[in-house]
Amino acid sequence: MVRTVRPEHPVSVTVTAAVGGKKEWNGPLGARFDYIDESDRFGKKTWEQSEAESQAIALRLALNKSSLRETDLDAVVAGDLLNQCSSSSYGLMNFRIPFLGIFGACSTPAEGLLISTLMLDGGHYRRIGVVSSSHFCSAERQFRAPVEYGGQRPPTAQWTVTGAGAFILENAPGRVQIDGLQIGRIVDAGIDDPGNMGAAMAPAAFEAFRDFFEFSGKKPADYDLILTGDLGAEGSAILKELALRAGIDLKRHNDCGLMIYDRATQDVQSGGSGCGCSAAVMASYILPQMFEGNVGSVLYAATGALMSADAVKQGLCIPGIAHIVSLKADMKNNRGERAQ
């Protein structure tokens, strides 16, 4: 049965860092990234190594921003889209921080925040890093076709974000606290078209929100922003329709896949996707806005399409999932200056 958890002790997000590639730099949030590599290579020869390096850069930046050393982290929880979570293990192996590799497809950043919050709330850990990444080229290679293969995309397809987000969480009160969690269930909505992952994930997001509002006692109006991970235009429209029919008001909804690119000019069809999509949007934009006191409360549901390339070829459906993390900024003690 679905449980909505409210941490018993304060757990806060203290610092974030976002890394991106050229397309992300050209997107609306480009200037907010902490680090951009316009070659998308991050100094490495292969795309898989580039993605791994993007995780290392993101975590290093987050540590530097908070003047922490790697020994200050009790654990790092990280994930990506590649087989065996290789970007995380290869990217973070030189840090010598106790490591948990996770897979939740594009829901990975929320899964990481969720697991870390429970670890911190449990009292055994004091400070944990969460990292999540994806890379357009490594994802194309694993899930679709060779990078240089000339194919056309349907309008419902999504563009895998090249980027990573890193978060550092502490078991102490802070400017942005995590005040709610919900582990999602796997939802098989019967969609088997990898060119329409928004439709595969939207029912999972809908169920997650419906359960959360039912069990947590909170209402959509309690949040300044209701944010999904990477439903894109198609999935967002479906989510809103499902919510409307169930009487849930999602007027304040936005989607990271719609925020990271300009769909009108960047040829990304339905929007961005990937473990790096909502990780980078949260780390570059949403959380900094909360740190600055511009946004008070965010209900973040990262959505994931738990598919494998072989399962789809075997005719199986694409299962969706959505994990929820509820974030609240401490507006009273906020002395940060408001950004324009």
Partner 1 sequence: MQDQKDIKKTTYKDYAEKRASPSPLIRDTFLAFIFGGALCVAGQGLTALCLAWTGSEKTAGTLASLALIAIASILTGFGVFDKAARYGGAGMLVPITGFSNAMTSPAIDAKSEGWVLGVGAKIFNVAGPVILYGTLSSAVYGLIYYVLKTIIL
Residue 150 engages partner 1 in binding (rule: CB under 8 A):
yes
* Residue spans of beta strands (DSSP E) within the chain: 4-5, 12-20, 35-36, 75-79, 99-102, 127-134, 159-160, 163-170, 176-182, 225-228, 253-255, 272-273, 297-305, 320-329
For residue 218, what are the contacts with CB-CB under 8 A and spacing of at least 6? 180, 212, 299, 326
Render the burial of 186-203: b for 16+ CB within 10 Å, e for the rest: ebebebeebebbbbbbbb
Cβ–Cβ contacts within 10 Å for residue 258, how many? 23
Q: Closer CB to partner 1, residue 98 or residue 154?
A: 154
Residue 306 engages partner 1 in binding (rule: CB under 8 A):
no
- Residue whose C-alpha is closest to residue 132's, from 254, 283, 288, 12: 283
Could you give the 3-state DSSP secondary structure of residue 295?
coil
Residue 246 engages partner 1 in binding (rule: CB under 8 A):
yes
- Residue whose C-alpha is closest to residue 88's, from 129, 52, 130, 113: 52
Q: Closer CB to partner 1, residue 157 or residue 176?
A: 157
The one among 22, 32, 60, 141 contacting partner 1 by CB under 8 A: 141
- Residue whose C-alpha is closest to residue 38's, from 15, 50, 57, 21: 21
- Beta carbon of residue 10, minimum distance to partner 1 (angstroms, whole number): 34
- Beta carbon of residue 220, minimum distance to partner 1 (angstroms, whole number): 16
Q: Distance (Å, rounded) from C-alpha 85 to C-alpha 103?
A: 7
The one among 115, 191, 280, 324 contacting partner 1 by CB under 8 A: 191
Give me the 200-219 binding string for partner 1, x by CB under 8 A, dash otherwise: ---x--xx--x---------
Which residue do the tokens 């078991």 mark?
171
Residue 3 engages partner 1 in binding (rule: CB under 8 A):
no
Residue 40 engages partner 1 in binding (rule: CB under 8 A):
no
Residue 315 engages partner 1 in binding (rule: CB under 8 A):
no
- Beta carbon of residue 166, minimum distance to partner 1 (angstroms, whole number): 25
Residue 199 engages partner 1 in binding (rule: CB under 8 A):
yes
DSSP letter at 282 equals I
The size of the interface with partner 1 (CB under 8 A), counted in residues, is: 37
Could you give the 3-state DSSP secondary structure of residue 131?
strand
Residue 154 engages partner 1 in binding (rule: CB under 8 A):
yes
Judged by CB under 8 A, the stretch of 70-78, 150-158, 170-178, 323-331 that binds partner 1 is: 150-158
Q: Distance (Å, rounded) from C-alpha 84 to C-alpha 98?
A: 17
| Residue 127 β-bridge partners | 170
Q: Closer CB to partner 1, residue 178 or residue 205?
A: 205
Q: Closer CB to partner 1, residue 133 or residue 196?
A: 196
| Residue 131 β-bridge partners | 78, 166
For 164, half-sphere exposure in the C-beta direction (CA atoms, 13 angstrom radius) is: 33
Residue 22 engages partner 1 in binding (rule: CB under 8 A):
no
The one among 38, 64, 147, 217 contacting partner 1 by CB under 8 A: 147
Residue 238 engages partner 1 in binding (rule: CB under 8 A):
yes
Residue 234 engages partner 1 in binding (rule: CB under 8 A):
yes
Q: Which two tokens stand for residue 177?
A: 């606290």
Residue 188 engages partner 1 in binding (rule: CB under 8 A):
yes
The one among 43, 98, 123, 155 contacting partner 1 by CB under 8 A: 155
Q: Distance (Å, rounded) from C-alpha 260 to C-alpha 27?
A: 6
Residue 196 engages partner 1 in binding (rule: CB under 8 A):
yes
Q: Interface residues for partner 1 in 79-138 (CB under 8 A)?
A: none
Q: Closer CB to partner 1, residue 117 or residue 269?
A: 269
| Interacting residues with partner 1 (CB under 8 A) | 45-48, 141, 145-156, 187-191, 193, 196, 199, 203, 206-207, 210, 234, 237-238, 242, 245-246, 267, 317
